Chains A and B, each alone.
Chain A
Amino acid sequence: MDFLIFQVPMLTVQATLDGVLLGILFALIAYGMALQWGVMNIINIAQGDLVILGGYIAYFMYLYGIHPAWGVVVSPIIMYFVGVIIYKLVINKVVDRDLFISILATFGISILFMQLMNFAFGADVVLANSGYGTTMLFDNSVTLPNSKIFSAFISIVFAIGLVIYMKKSKLGRAIRATAQNARAAKILGVDTEKVYAATFGINAALCGVAGALISITFTIHPYMGLPYTIRSFMIVIVAGLGNLPGVAMSGMGLGMFEEFADYILGTEFRIGSVFLLLVLILVYRRFKLSKKREYLK
Chain B
Amino acid sequence: MNKNNLILYIFILSFGIAAPFIFPAFKVQLSILCILIILALTWNVQGGEMGYNTFGNILFYGLGMYLCASVQVGMFFPLAEWTEGGGEKTFVHTPTQFFQGMAVGLAVAAVVPAIVAGLIGYSILGLRGHYFAICTLGLGVAAGEISGGIEIIGAGQGFTTPPFPNIGSLEARGEFFYFCSFIVLVLTFIAIKAIYSTRFKLVLNAIRDNEDKAEAMGIQTMKYKIIGWMISAFFCGLAGGIMGGLVGYIDSTDVAFDGREMGVFMVLMAILGGKGTLWGPVIGATVFHIFKEGFWTFFLGWQYVALGVLIIVIVIYFPEGIMGWLREKYPERFGEVVDEADRKAQVELK
Contacts and interface: CB of A to CB of B under 8 A. Distances in A.
Given A295-B126, A295-B128, A111 B307 contact: yes
> Could you say which of A110, A226, A272 has the most chain B C-beta atoms within 10 Å of its C-beta?
A272
A269 interface: yes
A94 B314 CA distance: 12
Given A100-B53, A271-B145, A296-B128, A108 B311 contact: yes
Contacts of B310: 108
> Could you say which of B145, B301, B304 has the most chain A C-beta atoms within 10 Å of its C-beta?
B145
A279 B139 contact: yes
A237 B126 contact: no
A58 B258 CA distance: 31
A31 B335 CA distance: 50
Interface stretch (B83-91, B92-100, B129-137): B129-137
A207 to B, nearest CB: 18
Given A43-B134, A278-B134, A101 B141 contact: no
Given A101-B319, A108-B312, A111-B304, A43 B130 contact: yes
Contact of A283 (B123, B142, B271, B309): B123
A120 to B, nearest CB: 11
B253 to A, nearest CB: 10
Nearest to A114: B304
21 contacts: A93-B316, A101-B319, A104-B311, A104-B315, A105-B311, A108-B309, A112-B304, A115-B305, A119-B301, A119-B302, A226-B141, A268-B148, A271-B141, A272-B141, A272-B144, A272-B145, A276-B142, A279-B124, A279-B138, A282-B127, A282-B131
Contacts of A93: 316
Q: Is the interface of B mostly helix, strand, loop or mixed?
A: helix
Given A226-B141, A269-B146, A275-B142, A111 B126 contact: no
B24 interface: no
Contacts of A63: none
Interface of A: 43, 90, 93-94, 97, 99-101, 103-105, 107-116, 119, 226, 230, 233, 237, 266, 268-269, 271-273, 275-276, 278-279, 282-283, 286-287, 290, 295-297
Contact of B308 (A112, A266, A268, A295): A112
Interface in B130-171: 130-131, 133-135, 137-139, 141-142, 144-146, 148-149, 155-156
A13 B182 CA distance: 58
Contacts of A99: 129-130
A94 B145 CA distance: 31
B315 A230 contact: no
Nearest to A290: B126
Interface residues on B, range: 35 or more
A90 B316 contact: yes
Interface in B63-106: none
A100 B310 CA distance: 16
A278 to B, nearest CB: 4
Contacts of B123: 283, 286-287
A283 B125 CA distance: 9
B264 interface: yes
A108 B314 CA distance: 10
A237 B142 contact: no
B127 A286 contact: yes
Interface string B209-242: 0000000000000000000000000000000000
Given A266-B149, A279-B142, A297 B128 contact: yes
Nearest to A271: B145
Contacts of A237: 131
B141 A275 contact: yes
B308 A115 contact: yes
A103 B146 contact: no
A277 to B, nearest CB: 9
A250 to B, nearest CB: 16
> Could you say which of A97, A115, A226 has the most chain B C-beta atoms within 10 Å of its C-beta?
A115
A111 B260 CA distance: 8
Contacts of A113: 308
Interface in B292-350: 301-302, 304-305, 307-312, 315-316, 319
Contacts of A111: 260, 264, 304, 307-308, 311
B127 A295 contact: yes
B315 A115 contact: no
Given A105-B312, A111-B264, A268 B131 contact: no
A114 B156 CA distance: 22
Given A101-B319, A111-B307, A112-B308, A272 B146 contact: yes
A97 B317 CA distance: 12
Given A113-B308, A269-B149, A272-B141, 7 more contacts: A43-B130, A103-B133, A105-B312, A111-B260, A115-B305, A268-B155, A278-B138
A99 B131 CA distance: 10
Contact of B145 (A103, A115, A275, A297): A275
A50 to B, nearest CB: 14
Given A275-B142, A276-B138, A278-B138, A108 B129 contact: no
Interface string B259-294: 010001001000100000000000000000000000
B148 A108 contact: no
A109 B312 contact: yes
A206 to B, nearest CB: 20
Nearest to A289: B126
